[in-house]
Each structure stands twice: as C-alpha cells, then as structure tokens.
C-alpha cells in the first residue's frame, strides 16, 4: 500500500486526470460535424468524429526518470497493440508495463540493432498504464491511455512492482509538443498546438472552405471568404506562371539582389512539408502589375494595398479591432494560424500570443523573409506578404504580422526582398 500511495501521489503531482484528448467538432456555430478525421500529426491513430461530433484520442505522455526527460537517441510511442522504439545504437531494450496499482503486467527484454523497432505489448484492458523503457544507461517512463483492450506480446516476467524511486520521481509530466488536426471535405483544415496529453472538452470549430483552387504546378489551395472577399488560406508556392513559363529559382546570396523576377524557399529548403506549409518567397518583380494575374490561377490575382485594407476593414466590421489592452490587435489574432508562431512562453501569458484565434480562417503563418542581400530571417517570428502596389521605383508595399506586437502592419520594402504571397479572387 505504501508503494501504491507513493505512485498515486506522484501521479497526482503531474495533474493526471485519467482522460485522453477528447472533445467535439462543430461548425462555427454549434452544429456537430460528424465524419471529421482527428489526429495528432506526430503520432497516434486517427479517429473519426461520431454523429454528435465527439472524438477521443488515445495519447502517450513522457514522465522524467532520475530528473531527465526523454534521452537523446532513445524514443518510444505507444499505439494500439504495439510500442514503437527507436534507438541510436545497438543495445538491450527493456519495456516493463505497470498498471496504476504499481503492479508489473509484463517485461519484454531483447537486444536490438540501431533503428526503429515494433514491440508487441501484452493484453491490457481499458485504462492508464505506465511503461518503463530502458536502453543501455537511458531510461524513461511513458504514460499511455488505452481506450480498448490490446492483445499479444510476451513477457519475460509477469510479476513485481514499480520501483519506489521511480514513483517518487514521476513528479511532473513532460509536455507534449504536437499538433492536433481535424479534416473534413467542405471545411478548412484545422490545426492547433497541443501541449497537454490529458485534455478533455476540446472545442474544435471548423470554418467552411470557400472552394479549392489549383495553381500552374497543380498545387491545390483551400480558400476562405472574409467579408466580401475570397482569399487563399495558404501561402503561394507555384514555380511557374500560368502561361507555363518558369519563374527563376535563385538560391545564391550573390545574385539574389538582381532586379529580375525570382523566387526561393526559406533557407533554400528542399523539405516538401516545410514548402507546403510556408510556401515560397518571391521578390516583387515576380508579381508586379504586369505579372499580378500571370502568377495566379484564372480568376485570381495578387492583392493591391487597397485590397489588404479591405480585408482589415472586413474584420473591423466583425468586431476584430484593437482591444485596448496589452493582448494586442484582435485583427492579427483573427488572421494568425494556431501553430508555428513563436511565443515568449509556452503558456502565451507573456507578450502577445498569436496562436489562440484564427477565427477568420486566414491561417497566416510566419514564413520569415529573405532580405535584399540574400540572407534569410525570422521564420516563426514574422510573416510578410507582398501587395501588387508599387511605392516608387525601388520599393513596394507589403503587409506583415510580428509575434510580439500582434498587429497587422503596412510597410514598404525593397522590391528585391523575398516575401510570401497570398492571392485574392477577382470580384
């Protein structure tokens, strides 16, 4: 009983609430959305919302052992009947499964080569379990929530209890750093950061998709209606004009400053996931008035400075305006996506947290920028978007979001800078 109390006390210290990530998906009102696919991007099985819009995701959280978080070179995740274990070098891997009474259900121990392996777990009914994972001198605990039973797996031992020192040291839960997504045809893809694996009562509100549009490369974008305008809800990443001619890619710092059309990706990345998320960076010559519609699919164009103002006025009409406090501009929060923005703290209580709204569906992301000297800056901190409006022979107008001020600002910058681009539909 002493061991059980110590274990439960340790678990109470981490605010264990005996629940998975669960909630309900609705439209922007209160109508439930059934058939939406909800999942964590970095792992776990996707689930489909029920007729009432409800969902439950089984999650795994990491608990520190001996004051350490998950060690380098060793990682694991529980999913259904299996645990996925990745190790950096050959070693003997031991996985011990415990229930919440501290009783060991089984221990699996076997030598493994460097790489990723799948270990079958023993039968266990619905509930919360702890898994002690050890490889060489590294060890940590996983807390896994199981909605349904799982079978198979073999145990070297089937008795014992969780060591007292481990129970005492499980005093704080390591935050997870994942993104929960919800997708459903006819709605904008929903993404939000999740930092607590024991989350119940989430309210996911999905915004209607105003229709998909395809660029000259075949990339498809979701769109959103804001006021009387329809905007792309993603940054442009096209690499050629709609007449088939190629937009030059320039990865060189030495030549980027030339006053000719060109594009790049942030830090010259070739990562397709990053490119899809943040889009491309274009200099203004790609989208000058002669090219504003040439870079866009038929029926679309690069917005003028006045059209950016119209977007802001549409949000003001909906009540999204400066709120008169240190929390910043409601317009910026209505525009900013709920992921990928840097904040002063994980709780967002210091400074302006842009990751708490996106009520407009615009889903602005901090794609960073490329200066006229060819250097890259501030992905995660700044989002810059060109307008088609020229200021003079050397500079043009842009609109931008900054994670600290939280306001949508107008600026003018050298035309050879590399900024993101959003398109707006022709009236």
What are the pLDDT digits (tens) for 350-406?
A: 334 544 578 999 999 999 999 999 999 989 888 999 999 999 999 999 999 887 666
**Cα(303)–Cα(362) distance, integer angstroms:** 14
pLDDT at 292: 84
Q: Is the pLDDT of residue 286 over 80?
A: yes
Please, which residues bridge with residue 408 across strands?
Answer: 401
pLDDT at 80: 62
Q: Is the pLDDT of residue 173 over 50?
A: no
Among 7-16, 40-49, 124-133, 411-420, which stretch is predicted with the lowest mean pLDDT?
7-16
Residues constituting the chain: 427
pLDDT at 343: 65
Q: Which residue has the higher pLDDT, 170 or 343?
A: 343
The chain-wide mean pLDDT, for the chain, equals 79
User: Using one digit for the tens of pLDDT, what is the confidence trace for 98-107?
Assistant: 776 677 788 8
Q: Is the pLDDT of residue 171 over 60?
A: no
User: Using one digit for the tens of pLDDT, what is the confidence trace for 18-71?
Assistant: 346 889 999 999 999 999 999 988 666 689 999 999 998 876 555 444 444 455
Among 8-22, 69-83, 197-211, 229-243, which stretch is predicted with the lowest mean pLDDT?
8-22
Among 83-87, 89-93, 364-368, 388-392, which stretch is predicted with the lowest mean pLDDT?
83-87
Q: Is the pLDDT of residue 182 over 80?
A: yes
pLDDT at 129: 74
Neighbour tally for 196: CB within 10 Å: 13
Is residue 224 within 8 Å of residue 231, measured between CB atoms?
A: yes
Work out the average pLDDT over 219-223. Answer: 98
Is residue 311 within 8 Å of residue 318, measured between CB atoms?
A: no
Please, which residues bridge with residue 99 across strands?
Answer: none
pLDDT at 174: 33
* Six token digits for residue 377: 């800056």
Q: Which residue has the higher pLDDT, 274 or 85?
A: 274
Coil, strand or helix at 11: helix
Q: Which residue has the tokens 């009236």?
A: 427
Work out the average pLDDT over 338-354. Answer: 56
- Which residues are CB-neighbours of 27 under 8 A, at least 6 positions away? 33, 187, 205, 206, 207, 208
* Six token digits for residue 284: 């203004």
Q: What is the pTM of this model?
A: 0.71
pLDDT at 211: 97
pLDDT at 397: 96
Q: Is the pLDDT of residue 240 over 90?
A: yes
pLDDT at 291: 87
Is residue 97 within 8 Å of residue 119, measured between CB atoms?
A: no
pLDDT at 165: 45
Work out the average pLDDT over 104-120. Answer: 83
pLDDT at 114: 83
pLDDT at 90: 85
User: Using one digit for the tens of pLDDT, what is the confidence trace for 301-333?
Assistant: 999 999 999 999 998 888 776 655 544 467 888
- Which residues are CB-neighbours of 302 under 8 A, at least 6 positions away? 287, 292, 293, 295, 296, 386, 387, 388, 421, 423, 424
Domains and CATH numbers, the chain: 2-59+177-205 (2.60.40.1120), 62-162 (2.60.40.3080), 213-425 (no CATH)
User: Using one digit for the tens of pLDDT, what is the confidence trace for 405-420?
Assistant: 667 889 999 999 999 9
């Amino acid at each position: 009983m002493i061991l059980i109390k110590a274990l439960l006390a340790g678990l109470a210290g981490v605010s264990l609430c005996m629940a998975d990530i669960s909630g309900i998906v609705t439209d922007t009102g209160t109508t439930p959305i059934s058939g939406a696919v909800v999942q964590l991007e970095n792992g776990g099985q996707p689930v489909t919302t029920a007729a009432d819009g409800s969902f439950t995701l089984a999650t795994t959280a990491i608990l520190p052992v001996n004051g350490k978080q998950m060690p380098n070179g060793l990682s694991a995740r529980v999913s259904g009947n299996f645990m996925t274990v990745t190790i950096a070098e050959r070693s003997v891997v031991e996985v011990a499964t415990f229930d919440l009474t501290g009783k060991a259900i089984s221990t699996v121990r076997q030598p493994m080569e460097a790489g990723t392996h799948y270990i079958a777990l023993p039968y266990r009914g619905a509930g919360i379990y702890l898994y002690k994972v050890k490889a060489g001198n590294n060890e940590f605990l996983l807390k896994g929530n199981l909605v349904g039973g799982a079978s198979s797996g073999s145990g070297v031992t089937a008795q014992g209890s969780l060591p007292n020192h481990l129970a005492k040291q499980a005093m704080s839960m390591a935050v997870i750093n994942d993104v929960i997504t919800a997708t459903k045809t006819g709605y904008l893809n929903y993404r939000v950061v999740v930092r607590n694996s024991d989350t119940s009562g989430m309210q996911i509100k999905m915004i209607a998709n105003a229709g998909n549009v395809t660029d000259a490369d075949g990339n498809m974008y979701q769109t959103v209606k804001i006021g009387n305008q329809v905007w792309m809800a993603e940054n442009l990443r096209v690499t050629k004009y709609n007449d088939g001619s190629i937009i030059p890619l320039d990865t060189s710092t030495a030549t980027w400053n030339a006053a000719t059309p060109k594009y790049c990706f942030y830090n010259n990345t070739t990562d397709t996931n990053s490119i899809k998320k943040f889009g491309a960076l274009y200099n203004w010559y790609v989208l000058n008035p002669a090219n504003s519609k040439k870079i866009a699919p038929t029926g679309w164009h690069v917005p003028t400075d006045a059209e950016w103002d119209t977007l802001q006025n549409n949000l003001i009409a909906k009540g999204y305006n400066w709120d008169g406090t240190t929390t910043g501009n409601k317009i910026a929060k209505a525009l900013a996506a709920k992921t990928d923005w840097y904040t002063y703290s994980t709780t967002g209580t210091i400074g302006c947290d842009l990751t708490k709204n996106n009520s407009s569906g615009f889903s602005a992301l901090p794609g960073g920028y490329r200066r006229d000297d060819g250097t890259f800056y501030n992905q995660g901190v700044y989002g810059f978007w060109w307008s088609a409006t020229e200021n003079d022979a050397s500079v043009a107008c842009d609109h931008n979001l900054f994670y600290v001020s939280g306001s949508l600002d107008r600026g003018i910058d050298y035309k050879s800078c590399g900024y993101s681009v959003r398109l707006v539909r022709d009236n």
